[in-house]
A and B are shown apart, each in its own frame.
Chain A
Amino acid sequence: MSRQPMLSKKTSIAYKTEEKTVLRGYDLSELAEAGYSFCDAMFVLFQGRIPTEAEEKMLAYEMGSFLEHSMSPSAASAIAVTAGRPNLPTAIAAGVMTFGGVHGPGAAHGYMMNKYIERAHREGKTLDEMAKILVDEYMDAGMPVMGMGQPQHRDGDPRAEPIHLKQEELGTNGAYHEFQRAVEKHFHARRKREGKSYVGVNVVGAGNAALSDLGFAPNAAWCIGSVSRAYSCAVHAIFSMKKGRAWAASKSEPMVQMLDLSMIKYVGPEDREVPTQEERQQYAEAQKKSGEYKKWVI
Chain B
Amino acid sequence: MDKKRVIGNLDNAGLPYEYDKRAYGTVPLDGSRAPFQWVSEVAYKNAHRIVTRGYDTTELMEQGYGVTDVMFVNFQARIPTVAEDQMLNYILILSLEDGLSMPAAMSRMTARSKTFLTQACGASILAFGHAYGAYSAFGNMLLETLEKAESEGKGMEAAATALVARKLGDPALGVSDLMLKDPAAKRIFARAEKLGVAGKYIAFTKEIVKAAQRASSIPIDLDLLGATGAAIMDLGFTPEATWAIIAVTRSFGAGAHYIEEVEREGHTRLGETLTPKELYDGPDDRPVPPLADRDKVAKPAKTHTPDEWKAAFEKRKQLHGSGFAVVEEIHDPSKKTGIKTLGKKI
Contact = CB atoms under 8 A, between A and B. Distances in A.
A139 interface: no
A64 B259 contact: no
Contacts of A11: 99-100, 257, 260
B42 A236 contact: yes
A89 B126 contact: yes
Interface string A196-239: 00000000000000000000010110111011101110111111
Interface in A11-60: 11-21, 23, 28-29, 31-33, 35-42, 45-46, 57, 59-60
A88 B243 contact: yes
Nearest to B185: A29
A69 B122 contact: no
Contact of B334 (A64, A158, A219, A246): A246
Interface in A245-277: 245-247, 250, 252-258, 260-266, 271, 273-274, 276
A6 B3 CA distance: 61
A162 B59 CA distance: 10
Given A28-B184, A220-B256, A261 B27 contact: yes
B79 interface: no
A115 B4 CA distance: 66
B105 A7 contact: yes
Contacts of A273: 1, 3
B120 to A, nearest CB: 9
Contacts of B62: 162, 166
Interface stretch (A120-128, A147-155, A171-179, A180-188): A147-155
Most buried by A among B243, B252, B346: B252
A98 B122 CA distance: 9
Contacts of A96: 118, 121-122, 125, 251
B36 A38 contact: no
Interface string B305-344: 0000000000000000000000000001110011111111
Interface residues of B, number: 115
Contacts of A23: 96-97
A119 to B, nearest CB: 23
Which of B45, B50, B105, B121 counts the most chain A CB atoms within 10 A?
B50
Given A89-B247, A92-B247, A234-B241, A21 B61 contact: no
B128 interface: yes
Contacts of B130: 87
Contacts of B274: none
B71 A231 contact: yes
Contact of A85 (B24, B28, B249, B332): B332
B26 A45 contact: no
A9 interface: yes
B298 interface: no
Contact of B52 (A68, A217, A242, A264): A68
Contacts of A154: 47
Given A41-B93, A67-B67, A254-B341, A18 B181 contact: yes
B280 interface: no
A226 B118 contact: yes
A112 interface: no
Contacts of B334: 85, 245-247
Given A238-B238, A245-B339, A260-B30, A274 B102 contact: no
Contacts of A17: 181-182
Nearest to B24: A271
Given A69-B50, A242-B337, A245-B337, A263 B36 contact: yes
Interface of B: 1, 3, 7, 24-30, 33-45, 47-52, 57-58, 60-62, 65-71, 74-75, 86, 88-90, 92-94, 96-102, 104-105, 108-109, 116-119, 121-123, 125-130, 136, 179-184, 187, 191, 238, 240-241, 243-245, 247-249, 251-253, 255-260, 264-265, 332-334, 337-344, 346
Given A5-B99, A28-B97, A89-B244, 11 more contacts: A11-B257, A18-B179, A29-B183, A39-B66, A42-B252, A45-B252, A89-B243, A97-B116, A243-B339, A253-B33, A253-B338
13 contacts: A29-B94, A38-B67, A64-B57, A64-B70, A70-B51, A89-B244, A92-B248, A96-B122, A159-B57, A234-B75, A237-B244, A253-B340, A254-B343
